[in-house]
Structure 1
Amino acid sequence: MPELPEVHSLVADLGARLVGRTIARFDVSSFAALKTFDPPVSALTGRTISAVTRHGKFLDFVTSPASGADVGEPELHLVLHLARAGWIRWREGPPPPPSGRPGKGALAARLVLEGDEAGLDITEAGTKKSLALYLVRDPAEVPGIARLGPDPLEPEFTEEVFARILSGAGRAQIKGVLRNQGLIAGVGNAYSDEILHAARMSPFKPAAMSPDEVASLYASLQSTLRGAIDRADGLAASELKREKKSGLQVHGRTGEACPVCGDTVRQVTYADSSLQYCPTCQTGGKPLADRVLSRLLK
């Protein structure tokens, strides 16, 4: 799943390609992915892409009215959440002709630009479809954006703000708090594992912690996210998945040696996800029980 660092890098890459271009059409192949109906996607035709930005893990393609439109016509925002298996592929030329039944393949939607007909193919792998598209006049109309907590890369996200979030979460497990988009925007399963490994903390540690632990976790959060962004700086969308995987220390590396201490990276599996951690670095050498209600083995 693309998380804050990948979406941040997608904004830079796609912004350089799209800003100033005019939309010829926007075709939706997976109708289940489109979560809004007013305005219709046909309203994008002839509009200019004026900015590409993000809200947590949500991509926001900001479009301005077509030339000759009524004065005061509002911006429209094409908002995209890539979910677990979604991605964006840049095309240099016209799209290939459609094949197969609409919505049955990986293609969810296609953005075609005027002129050379270059554009974007929005795809989603697998059979469990969670990718979501919204066309709105205000990003706050998207429920997931309206619920977002503060962005950890913004200057306002200070250590004091972070401490209040953790204190408010009480005895909730820190892994879940870091992933909760209503508390902190943009951190998902992979980077929460990486942040906790860097901070040498158990994923099941209660969120309410000492000031020294808060400072350590805050520093790890900032260094992990900003380090991932720095590694992805200047990369095209097609290169971001490989870069993310190569930079991970524990996430997705079950059975491999921890690069810090050499211990074996372990895993805890849940119904629909899993976490990875290093026992030596994070849990005093004790493996965590691999079941839904995991706790330290005694």
Structure 2
Amino acid sequence: MPELPEVEALARFLGERATGRVVARLDVVAFNVLKTFDPPPTALHGLAVTGASRHGKLLDLDVDGLHLVVHFSRAGWAQWKEPAAAAPARPGKGPLALRVVLDDGEGLASLDLTEAGTQKRLAVHLVHDPTQVPAVAKLGPDPLTLDVDGLAERLAGTRQRLKTVLTDQQVLAGIGNAYSDDILHAARLSPFAPAGGLTAEELERLHGAVHSVLGDAVAAAVGRAPEQLKDDKRGRMRVHGRTGQACDVCGTRIAEISYTDSSFQYCPGCQTGGQVLSDRRMSRLLK
């Protein structure tokens, strides 16, 4: 799933490549992807892209005051194609869901929104104001804008596990499963620690980890083409997606907690004092 660093890099890429280009065509290939009907997609035709930005993990393409807001969900992503295909895209079995064809007066380029797999959750909204998109309206603050006190306020009063709270978009906007794993590893904190019970020293560590992990990821991602960002992200992970491998810090084998449709990773040596956390699903499989 694309998270804050990848979407930030994509927004900056589009800000450089798409700004000033005029929308020549919008091909809606998967009809379920477009979640709004007013204004209609045809309202974009002939308008110029004026910028691109990010709201948490959502992309916002500003087209002369109309906003094409994209929620990539788990398996959605984007491709930039230049030159673009001249013929309109047709519905089919491929991953392409929506294509925005852009004209700079010399040739065509396209922003292709794609989604792999069978669970179709990619969502595109065309609105006058990004806050008309429910997922944007409910977002918490961007974690990179918070100081230690601001982070403490977001976590205060909850007994939920720290992993759960970090990935709650209404608490902090932009952190997902992968970067929360690496943030908690860098902060040397258990994913099961009560979020509202951190000490002042633990909060300092968490705040530093949020800024270093996300900041470094943004710096590494910016300037890369959209097609490169997913593989680049996988190669930079500290613990996420590295089950069974040795931790680069302490050498302990990285452990995993599995759920029905997801999993996350942590280092027992760095984060839980050597304790392997209970994983009911895996325990049942081992019986």
Please tell me whether residue 92 in structure 1 is matched to residue 92 in structure 2: no
Aligned amino acid, residue 112 of structure 1: V
Aligned amino acid, residue 268 of structure 1: I
CA contact (8 A) 2:144 2:210 kept: no
Percentage identity across paired residues of the two chains:
52
The equivalences for 1:1-298 within 5 A come to 1-64=1-64, 75-95=65-85, 97=87, 102=91, 104-114=93-103, 115=105, 116-154=107-145, 157-168=146-157, 170-208=158-196, 209-291=198-280
CA contact (8 A) 2:71 2:124 kept: yes
Q: 1:20 & 1:28 partners in 2: Cα distance?
A: 22
CA contact (8 A) 1:31 1:103 kept: no
Per-residue deviation, 1:2:
0.4
CA contact (8 A) 2:13 2:222 kept: no
- Counting matched residue pairs gives 280
Mark the runs of 5 or more structure 2 residues left unpaired by the alignment. none
Per-residue deviation, 1:165:
1.2
Secondary structure at the counterpart of residue 197 of structure 1? helix
Q: TM-score, normalised by structure 2?
A: 0.94
Q: 1:103 & 1:221 partners in 2: Cα distance?
A: 41
CA contact (8 A) 2:33 2:124 kept: yes
Q: CA RMSD, aligned part only?
A: 1.6
Taking a change above 3 Å as real, the CA distance of residues 39 and 292 of structure 1, as seen in their structure-2 partners, is farther
Per-residue deviation, 1:98:
6.3
- The CA deviation string for residues 63-92 of structure 1, in whole angstroms up to 9 with x for no partner, is 11xxxxxxxxxx100000111111111111
- The CA deviation string for residues 105-146 of structure 1, in whole angstroms up to 9 with x for no partner, is 211000111241211111100111110000000000000000
Taking a change above 3 Å as real, the CA distance of residues 233 and 95 of structure 1, as seen in their structure-2 partners, is same
Q: TM-score, normalised by structure 1?
A: 0.91
Q: 1:167 & 1:212 partners in 2: Cα distance?
A: 15
Q: 1:178 & 1:96 partners in 2: Cα distance?
A: 44
Secondary structure at the counterpart of residue 153 of structure 1? helix
CA contact (8 A) 2:27 2:88 kept: no
Secondary structure at the counterpart of residue 287 of structure 1? coil
Q: Which runs of 4+ in 1 moved over 6 A?
A: none
- The CA deviation string for residues 35-72 of structure 1, in whole angstroms up to 9 with x for no partner, is 100000010000000010010011000011xxxxxxxx
